[in-house]
């Protein structure tokens, strides 16, 4: 059974870069069948898909965040990562990693990690 777990700093200063890692257990991140996504949810607001890594080094980002986002894979560690640059208070949210696929739903999800942007 595949499980995902987010990790990273819970506090980031404004204008700095948010960096999170998702560790995948119970399955290989190298599988071409699956894609690897990040999703976030600001407090009291809805879910927002951030982007995904898939195939042979391909990425797909939400246009609203595209200029600031990078998602990458580390197959040696069975992890994928999120980098979000130039953060502001609006980036304060619970961040989730999840597995999806071509025209597929998100399953499973990680438990989420709260990231606060504050000086």
Partner 1 sequence: EILLTQSPGTLSLSPGERATLSCRASQSVSSYLAWYQHKPGQAPRLLIYGASSRATGIPDRFSGSGSGTDFTLTISRLEPEDFAVYYCQQYGSSPDTFGGGTKVEI
Query: Which residues would be at the binding site for partner 1 (CB under 8 A)?
Result: 37, 46-49, 60, 62-64, 96, 100, 103-112
Q: Which is nearer to partner 1, 57 or 63 (CB)?
A: 63
> Which of 117, 119, 64 has the alpha carbon at shortest distance from 88?
117
Cβ-proximal residues to 2 (8 Å cutoff; 6+ apart), any chain: 24, 25, 26, 27, 99, 108
| Four-residue CA torsion sign, 63, 109, 103, 56 | positive
Nearer to partner 1, 27 or 48 (CB): 48
CA 54 to chain centre: 13
Report the residue number, 67 or 119, with the smaller CB distance to partner 1: 67
Using DSSP, state whether 32 is helix, strand or coil: coil
Shortest gap between Cβ of 32 and partner 1 (angstroms)? 18
Q: Whole-number minimum distance, CB 100 to partner 1, in Å?
A: 7
Q: Which is nearer to partner 1, 8 or 112 (CB)?
A: 112
Q: Least distance from C-beta 111 to partner 1, angstroms?
A: 5
């Amino acid at each position: 059974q595949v499980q995902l777990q987010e990790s990273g700093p819970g506090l980031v200063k404004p204008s700095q870069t948010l960096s999170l890692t998702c560790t995948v257990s119970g399955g290989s991140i190298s599988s071409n069948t699956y894609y690897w996504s990040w999703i976030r949810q600001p407090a009291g607001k809805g879910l927002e898909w951030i982007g995904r890594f898939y195939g042979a080094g391909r990425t797909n980002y939400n246009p609203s965040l595209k200029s600031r986002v990078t998602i990458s894979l580390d197959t040696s560690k069975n992890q994928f990562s999120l980098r979000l640059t130039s953060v502001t208070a609006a980036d304060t949210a619970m961040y989730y990693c999840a597995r999806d696929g071509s025209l597929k739903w998100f399953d499973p999800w990680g438990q989420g990690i709260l990231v606060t942007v504050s000086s």
